[in-house]
Structure formats: structure tokens, C-alpha cells
Amino acid sequence: MAPNPYLLAADNSPALVPLLRESPSLASAQDEHGYSLVHAAASYNHLDLLRTLVCELNVPVDLKDEDGETALFVVETVDAAKVLVEELGLDPNVTNDEGLTAREKLEAEGEFPAVVQYLAGEVRPGNVTAATADAQAVELPPAPEGIQVTIGTMAEQEATDGEVDPEFRRRIEELAAMENFDAPEGQAQLRQLVQDVLAGQGLSEERGVRPRQA
């Protein structure tokens, strides 16, 4: 009996890729519901398999199932979403048969809030690292009380004046990655951080621990 490629994909079996190389047509196959190996690899967060399917075996990254949904609709981690969108070029604005994008469907179902936040463009970790020093600014979700915080990068030779405090950047990135960033507690932390900076309090020294009030 021939092995089931979908089960092999779910288990990330080392036998799958050799099988697909021997029978390339299997790589792009879809079951009776339109489910593909790309969907399986994305869903189970098997990122190397996902890359192999698309980059080596030439499987279309935008394969849709019977509901008109691409692999982005079944991801459970930000890493898988990033590979699909940023590495493999899958359009995050593709809609399913109900007219919903992957972000809208996941948000409606209340699942995987970190993925929803990433797809909403609120957190793009790859855009706030030195690796993307192309002067492109990243805007975080609206800050409280009319305060706007924008993080950007600049070429090292242009950063001699007014350089952003690395600790401030780190703290902002940590806050933006929090699931409760839009909640009152997250906004309160952001407000306090911005107020500290505006008041001229440096962040180079660790100030994260405050004495507990009696």
C-alpha cells in the first residue's frame, strides 16, 4: 500500500521529500476537499518542508481548498505566516468563498491572536531589526492619548545624531509583541515608557524592577 503523503507531511516524515522527488505530481496533489501538502506543512509548522514544496518542487503557494482558502488560513504560528507571506510571496489579502481574508477568519473565530496581529500589520518583527536598515519606518498600533510612536531604521553612518536608545527600541518591540498590547495594561506600560523618554530619563540602565508598595 502506497504511503499517504498527507500523513507523512503531518508527521514531517523524512520519507516524504524523497517520495515527492520520485513522483513530483504528488507534491501538488489535493485531496477531495482541496487540502494540499502546502496546507499541511503550514498547519503543522513544518517550515523546511513548506519551503521545499514551493521552492524546489514548484508547488503553487496559493493553492486553495474547497472553501477557497490558502495555506495562510490554517497557520497556527507567526513563523509559518511569515514564511508564507515574506519568503514565499503568498498574498495575505486573498479572500475565501465567504469573502474573508485569513486574518478576518482567524479573528472572527478567536483563534491564534498572535497570527491575527501579525497579519493585521501591527507586529512585523522582521521590520524592526538591523537586517532591514532600509529607512523604512514601522508604525505600531495607535498609542494612548494621542501619542504616536514610530520605529524606523537608518544606515549606520547616518545614525551619528539622535540615535535611538537601543534599550528604548527593545522595550518598544517587547511591548508591541505582547498579546495584551491594546488592553489597558499594555497601553499603560507604553504610556509610562513614552513619558519616561519625554522626561529625559535614559533607558540604558535597567529600571524594570520597582519597589512593591506596602
CA distance 52 to 22: 14
* CATH architecture for the domain at 5-119: Alpha Horseshoe (1.25)
Share of the chain above pLDDT 70, in %: 67
CA distance 113 to 183: 13
pLDDT band at 191 (very low <50, low <70, confident <90, very high): confident
Q: Which amino acid is at 72?
A: L
Q: Which residues are within 8 A (CB) of 140 and not within 5 positions of it... i.e. 6 or more apart?
A: 122, 149, 150, 151, 172, 176, 181
Q: Which residue has the higher pLDDT, 96 or 132?
A: 96
Lowest mean pLDDT among 96-110, 123-137, 180-194: 123-137
Whether pTM exceeds 0.85: no
CA distance 193 to 170: 11
Q: Which secondary structure element, helix H or strand E, spans residue 186, and what is its range?
A: helix 184-198
Lowest mean pLDDT among 79-88, 118-127, 141-150: 141-150
Share of the chain above pLDDT 90, in %: 55
CA distance 127 to 134: 10
Per-residue DSSP letter, 87: I
DSSP E strand stretches across the chain: 138-139, 150-151
Cα–Cα nearest to 10, from 50, 43, 54, 59: 43
Domain extent listing, the chain: 5-119, 125-198
For 135, phi and psi rounded to 5 degrees? 70, 15
